[in-house]
């Protein structure tokens, strides 16, 4: 707990620095992580080898090193999101697209948000730039000090309700129906084969939850993709893309394949900022050896 308190104190201390300096410090943290976090570096390299086989070994190393620079920034810049004044955060976020779509529709809304390094910024932008309250599924942290900081940071603007991943989906669905909450959905992690299917992601079968399609269809949701990116010298851009047309359908598997193909296109657009350090292909079909 002492380590967590020190880390949070450092984030609070550094958040007042100019954003260009924070960006440089974050890249430095990333360079250090690249050297020290050998296992995460190996996972990122393997993921890129699987997903972008057209890259040679030297190009993969460059991409992994760049990725760790963005990863370091994403860690450090949580201090900005958790502690900086609202006005400063708003001034640092560029919003592209239809941020007010959720406000104009009476139907429930799902924001479909893949795991790029600016993910926390996307969550803040949903709260800061439109009025519809949202909800998301939250992975409780093992360290209670850090867990409390994460929860407080994600709820500091009063526009978000958190539901733990350990609970059933019933409270979330009830809140969407009764309170009209939007759902901030993170669809691209490996949570095992329960309620999932092996759907190609960059041509590799990946355990992918079918819940986004099924929930959207059950609740009659409007689905809007949202993608966040970090800008080179500090600050962020959040893109609120047009509503997905013809999605969901009554074929959850086909919907999930289409979703993965969309995420692939976004990753190719900004490969260094995708979450490569996650074991996206950890779960394998029966009898298939580990890819890691």
Tokens describing residue 191:
């949570």
In a domain, 49, yes or no: yes
Contacts of 48 by beta carbon, 8 Å cutoff, 6+ apart: 55, 60, 63, 64, 271, 276
In a domain, 157, yes or no: yes
Mean pLDDT, rounded, of the chain: 94
Please give the Cα distance from 141 to 151 (Å, whole number). 10
Is there a contact between 230 and 272 (Cβ–Cβ < 8 Å)?
no
Tell whether the torsion through CA atoms of 185, 101, 156 and 84 is positive or negative. positive
Query: Could you give the number of structural domains in the chain?
Result: 1
pLDDT one-digit tens code per residue, 174-203: 989 988 899 999 999 999 999 999 999 999
In a domain, 286, yes or no: no
Tokens describing residue 46:
């393997």
Phi and psi at residue 110, in whole multiples of 5°? -115, 120
pLDDT of res. 104:
94
In a domain, 289, yes or no: no
Judge whether residue 171 has pLDDT over 80.
Answer: yes
pLDDT tier for residue 3 given thresholds of 50, 70 and 90: confident
In a domain, 284, yes or no: no
What is the extent of the structural domain holding 84?
Answer: 2-273
pLDDT of res. 1:
59
pLDDT one-digit tens code per residue, 235-267: 999 999 999 999 999 999 999 999 999 999 999
In a domain, 282, yes or no: no
Residue for token pair 């309170």: 179
The residue among 38, 118, 37 whose CA lies nearest residue 75 is: 118
pLDDT one-digit tens code per residue, 15-57: 999 999 999 999 999 999 999 999 999 999 999 999 999 999 9
Average pLDDT over residues 60-70: 98
Is there a contact between 105 and 133 (Cβ–Cβ < 8 Å)?
no
């Amino acid at each position: 707990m002492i380590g967590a308190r020190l880390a949070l104190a450092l984030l609070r201390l550094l958040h007042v620095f100019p954003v260009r300096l924070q960006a440089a410090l974050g890249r430095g943290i990333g360079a250090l992580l690249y050297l020290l976090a050998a296992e995460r570096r190996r996972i990122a390299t393997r993921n890129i080898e699987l997903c972008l086989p057209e890259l040679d070994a030297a190009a993969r190393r460059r991409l992994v090193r760049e990725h760790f620079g963005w990863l370091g920034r994403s860690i450090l810049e949580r201090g900005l999101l958790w502690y900086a004044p609202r006005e400063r955060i708003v001034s640092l976020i560029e919003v592209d697209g239809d941020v007010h779509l959720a406000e104009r529709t009476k139907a429930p809304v799902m924001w479909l948000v893949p795991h790029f390094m600016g993910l926390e910024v996307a969550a803040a932008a949903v709260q800061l730039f439109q009025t519809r309250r949202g909800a998301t599924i939250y992975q409780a942290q093992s360290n209670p000090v850090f867990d409390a900081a994460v929860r407080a940071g994600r709820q500091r603007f009063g526009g978000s309700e958190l539901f733990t991943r350990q609970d059933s989906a019933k409270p979330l669905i009830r809140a969407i129906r009764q309170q009209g909450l939007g759902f901030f959905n993170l669809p691209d992690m490996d949570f095992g084969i329960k309620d999932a299917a092996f759907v190609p992601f960059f041509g590799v079968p990946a355990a992918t939850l079918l819940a986004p399609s099924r929930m959207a269809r059950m609740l009659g949701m409007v689905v809007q993709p949202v993608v966040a990116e970090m800008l080179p010298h500090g600050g962020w851009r959040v893109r609120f893309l047009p509503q997905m047309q013809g999605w969901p359908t009554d074929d959850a598997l086909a919907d999930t394949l289409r979703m993965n193909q969309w995420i692939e296109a976004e990753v190719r657009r900004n490969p260094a900022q995708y979450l490569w350090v996650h074991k996206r292909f950890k779960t394998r079909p029966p009898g298939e050896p580990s890819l890691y």
